[in-house]
Chain A
Amino acid sequence: MASINMDKLGKVYAGDVRAVTDVNIDIADGEMIVLVGPSGCGKSTLLRMVAGLETITEGTLKIGDRVVNQLEPAERDIAMVFQNYALYPHMTVFNNLAYGLKNRGFKKADIDQRVRQAADMLEIGQFLDRKPRQLSGGQRQRVAMGRALVREPAAFLFDEPLSNLDAKLRVQMRVEIRQLQKRLATTSLYVTHDQLEALTMADRLVVLNAGRIEQLGTPMEVYSRPATTFVAGFIGSPAMNMLPAEYMRGLVSADSLAHLPSKADLIGIRPEDLSLEPAKENEMSLSGRLMLLEPAGAESHLHLAFEGIRETMVVRLPHVPEVTEGSTLTFSIKREKLHPFDLATGQRVT
């Protein structure tokens, strides 16, 4: 068990390719931090710097109270789950799990006991004699997990461990990994490009963009108060609607936007914050023409267009309304649900 401290971490690859800039994250003991961001934003690089698979070119990394910048991966007391699982194809499941223990000189009886315990925990006990290629994707995923946890390391590192699974299995494994992590209370750093995975699994999540931290916070903080337009657009699905404040001012009654700072020239609205109920006090109303109604069982997505601007808007309703495409609909939204941004800097204002 250990905390992880990243102090001004940066990475410049050979040939002056900058991948990570000024990353400060303190992961508490037992906490699960999720790094999320689009492909190529430097998530894997950062994770691999923690693992010791990439050299750290700037800053200081501490695991527990040791500075580990110069330590080999094996000396950092971490375990990693790879995207392609990286199981040793020529070894049985048992030997895959036992390999790290053998290398560290554990006694045979101890290895046996630990491997069986891990296998029981992950319900892969009956596969111990098989080779990885004789397992399904989900089973391989479990073996990869097992290999990480037999050693009882100070920290788990996950690099998109679920992205090779089909949708259903992905949800199932997501739950299992999180439950296991909570039960073992092992400090974890988890990388994903899937915002839903990030929101559901994280104690705190870190949104990365172009190698920099855009926002760090609990899933609810990040979701309800995105710090930048990038975060606003990346976290949440369907993505937050962005309308020019100038246009909004013409669209709604004058005092509706009076509470927003004058610098706010871009207004974000979450699709689910709009409703078809008439506006009450402290709410404002907004009308648009319904272009498309997408029913999705328990909920529906309504695509709206407005006079005079190209921006469209998506509304998510928790039911499928009886409306006809082409008609004009009026929605209401609580004023405090508006997210004001400065278009020039991309930062949230207030």
Chain B
Amino acid sequence: MQTKRTTFSSKWLPYALLAPQVIITLIFFIWPSYQALVQSVYRQGDAFGIRPPTFVWFHNFQALFADDLYLNSLRTTFIFSVGTTVLSMGIALLFAVMVNRMIRSRDSYTTFLVWPYAIAPAIAGVLWWFIFNPTLGILPYMLDMVGYDWNHRRNGNDAMIMVIIASAWRQISYNFLFFLAGLQSIPQSLIEAAAIDGASRMKRFWTIVFPLLSPITFFLMVVNIVYAMFDTFGVIHATTEGGPSQATTILVYKVYRDGFVNLNFGSSAAQSVILMAIVIILTVIQFRYIERRVNY
């Protein structure tokens, strides 16, 4: 609890100090959210102002859930988020366990493993674009040797795998740091007690270490799902642009396409509102859980 009270000499100073944050929130968050909420219950007017926008209640939402493309995008988003989360958390945990076992070289490995996080998404996108490029990429070349014909431009599954890998890659650093901190907070004596109790290395991990990491695992799960759903626009835009035939069009990308490419603002706004609701639900789950996490 905050117990310290600071007294300001001027009555206006605290407001002035708060103002930038409040203004930024208003301009970039509250106002667009309000706009989206309003637009989601209107049918837009035409570009020439002949037909004015009309209030249509929840028609935009009803239309969405009757639209196969939207339902498909929901499923795509689900597969993509789960895939990205499981992949990035799995690899991060593996790295964290391995690095945690080192004593002297731990810090240098940690530094290397954090680097990807500092690379700009656009550069990372280009990197993966090269690696996966069907004509000159190294990965399709190697896959070709084992008889697999990689082409994410034609094959929807290939495209999905590619965007999952490219999105998960960046997130590994972040997850790794949390897992490593979690592992280091587990007293060594617990592991030793389990070793004396006859548990093999694997068994120690799954019965002692992993359960004790569960608060961190849960926290990261929410963070990663949010990341996969909302923060991967750049990756998809740079690699597949949602294709082929919408195989990688996740909800966020669909909002962009329907709104800015197809200029269907009502539907796009309704989709944003749904996304907003998802974020709110995830946040609530997270906060409720974190309050109780000491219970293991």
Q: Which residues of A contact B (CB under 8 A)?
A: 51-53, 72-74, 78-80, 82-84, 86, 88-90, 99-100, 103-104, 131, 133, 147
Contacts and interface: CB of A to CB of B under 8 A. Distances in A.
Contacts of B203: 103
Interface stretch (B36-44, B90-98, B194-202, B267-275): B194-202
Contacts of A104: 198
A82 B190 CA distance: 9
Contact of A103 (B190, B198, B211): B198
Nearest to A105: B198
Given A89-B212, A89-B296, A90-B211, A82 B189 contact: yes
B189 A86 contact: yes
A80 B296 CA distance: 25
Given A90-B211, A90-B212, A103 B199 contact: yes
A100 B199 CA distance: 8
Nearest to B199: A103
B196 A51 contact: yes
19 contacts: A52-B196, A53-B192, A53-B196, A72-B195, A73-B192, A74-B195, A74-B199, A82-B192, A83-B189, A84-B187, A86-B187, A86-B190, A90-B211, A90-B212, A103-B197, A103-B199, A131-B296, A133-B294, A147-B197
B193 interface: yes
A82 B294 CA distance: 23
A90 B187 CA distance: 13
A53 B187 CA distance: 14
B296 A90 contact: yes
Given A99-B194, A103-B199, 6 more contacts: A53-B192, A73-B195, A79-B196, A88-B208, A89-B296, A90-B296
Q: Which residue, of B196, B198, B199, B294, has the highest number of chain A Cβ atoms within 10 A?
A: B196
A82 B189 CA distance: 7
Interface in B148-205: 187, 189-190, 192-199, 203
Interface of B: 187, 189-190, 192-199, 203, 207-208, 211-212, 214, 294, 296
Contacts of A51: 192, 196
A84 B212 contact: no
Contacts of B214: 90
A88 B192 CA distance: 11
B193 A80 contact: yes
Q: Which residue, of A51, A83, A86, has the highest number of chain B Cβ atoms within 10 A?
A: A86
Contacts of B192: 51, 53, 73, 80, 82, 86
A72 B198 CA distance: 9
B196 A78 contact: yes
Q: Give the 7 A-B CB pairs with smallest separation, nearest first.
A: A100-B197, A103-B198, A86-B189, A74-B198, A86-B193, A90-B296, A73-B196
B198 A84 contact: no
A346 to B, nearest CB: 35
Contacts of A147: 193, 197
A77 B196 CA distance: 8
A89 to B, nearest CB: 7
A294 B256 CA distance: 85
Contacts of B190: 86, 88-89
Contact of B199 (A80, A84, A99): A99
Nearest to B196: A73
A131 B207 CA distance: 15
A71 to B, nearest CB: 12
Q: Which residue, of A51, A74, A79, A104, has the highest number of chain B Cβ atoms within 10 A?
A: A74
Contacts of B207: 99
Nearest to B211: A90
B289 to A, nearest CB: 16
A82 B193 contact: yes
Contacts of A88: 190, 193-194, 208
Contact of A99 (B189, B197, B296): B197
Q: Which residue, of B197, B199, B208, has the highest number of chain A Cβ atoms within 10 A?
A: B197
Contacts of A78: 196
Contacts of A79: 196
A72 B296 CA distance: 30
Nearest to B207: A99
Nearest to A100: B197
B196 A84 contact: no
Contacts of B194: 88, 99
B20 to A, nearest CB: 43
